[in-house]
Amino acid sequence: MEQDTDRQIELFEAFGQALAGSLELDEILGRMAAVVVEHLGYRNCAIVLYHPERRELEVRAIVGRNYEPMAGARFPDSQGVTGEVVRTGRTAVISD
């Protein structure tokens, strides 16, 4: 139990450092994605913003193998797993 608490504190500290290190949104989001990969053991992490007025999803930060070209990509909220998450409100973890 103590080990879990220590790990959570370490994770929150890493997120805090990512937030405090910049005022630029894209830089902060990139740092947050890197924290997820580093501390939670995922190989990839994408942070996607939703623009409800356009019903559009935008990849704003991505960390992982060969996924960097997707940064900045936009697509309708009716497409893909991310679109399904937006429509249903349920989370999804995707294994490669």
pLDDT digits (tens, 9 = 90+) for 10-43: 888 888 888 887 889 999 999 999 999 988 888 8
pLDDT tens, position by position, 43-64: 888 899 999 999 999 999 999 8
The predicted pLDDT at position 1 comes to: 62
pLDDT at 51: 95
- With a threshold of 0.95, does the pTM exceed it? no
The torsion angles phi and psi of 43, rounded to 5 degrees, stand at -80, -30
Buried b (16+ CB within 10 A) or exposed e, 24-58: eeeebbbbbbbbbeebeeeeebbbbeeeeeeeebe
